[in-house]
Homo-oligomer: A and B are copies of this chain.
Amino acid sequence: MKKNPAITAQTRQNLIDAFWELYCTKRIEKITIKEITTRAGYNRSTFYEYFTDVYDVVEQLENNLISKLQEMPMQQLSSSGDPFQLDALVRMYSDHSGYLAVLLGDHGDPAFQRRIKASMKPMMKEALIAQGAKDGYELDYTLEYALSAMIGVLSYWFNQENPPSLEELTAILGELSSSGVMGKLMGLRD
């Protein structure tokens, strides 16, 4: 009886869900393990069977999320003509906006944004170099520039009162990136 995946997975998910409800309302350091387990209907000790501490829960959550994020754009990478995958990025963000808006928000995890960028850069870089972009620090900084801008705008958009439509948003992002970032990148060809 090594582990019963059905039961443990359920318990783990119950704990994660309870944590997430709390995390949406307050910063992580104000969340106690007792709160999580009470809400999920377990003894406090049970928490330690699944996580080392409260930060371990966020980390596992982020890992799941990043795995999912990495799958999606890969499929379209070859077919699309846009190396920045603007559509894919925006759709991806919308699909997981519930988690992303909080993790990238005011009491989210500051390391998460860097993790997202780090997970997307390699495949973007690869695609761009395949399209003729020149490798070097300029490419790195241009990618950092573009990803920071995209993520920043998407977060801003999601927390707006009366946000513009997704089409309007995509239009603005497209204009800004194609004239600025993309122009620069196409000038970085060999």
In the complex, A118→B94 CA distance in Å?
Answer: 24
In the complex, A138→B170 CA distance in Å?
Answer: 11
Contacts of A106 in B (CB 8 A): 110-111, 114
Contacts of A114 in B (CB 8 A): 106
Q: Are B181 and A176 in contact (CB under 8 A)?
A: yes
Q: Are A152 and B148 in contact (CB under 8 A)?
A: yes
- Which size class do A's interface residues fall under? 35 or more
Binds B, one of A38-46, A84-92, A125-133, A139-147: A139-147
Contacts of A168 in B (CB 8 A): 137
Chain B: minimal CB distance from A162 (Å) = 9
In the complex, A113→B32 CA distance in Å?
Answer: 27
Q: A28-B29, A176-B184 are in contact. Are A153 and B164 (CB under 8 A)?
A: no
In the complex, A55→B148 CA distance in Å?
Answer: 26
Q: A106-B110, A110-B105 are in contact. Are A153 and B179 (CB under 8 A)?
A: no
Query: Could you say which of B109, B153, B164, B172 contacts A110, with CB atoms under 8 Å apart?
Result: B109
Residue A97 is within 8 A (CB to CB) of chain B in the complex: no
Q: Are B173 and A145 in contact (CB under 8 A)?
A: yes
Chain B: minimal CB distance from A86 (Å) = 13
Residue A156 is within 8 A (CB to CB) of chain B in the complex: yes
Q: Mark A156-185, 1 if CB is under 8 A from B, else 0.
A: 110000001000110011011101110110
Residue A149 is within 8 A (CB to CB) of chain B in the complex: yes
Nearest first, the 5 A-B pairs at minimum CB distance are A180-B180, A148-B152, A149-B149, A29-B29, A106-B111
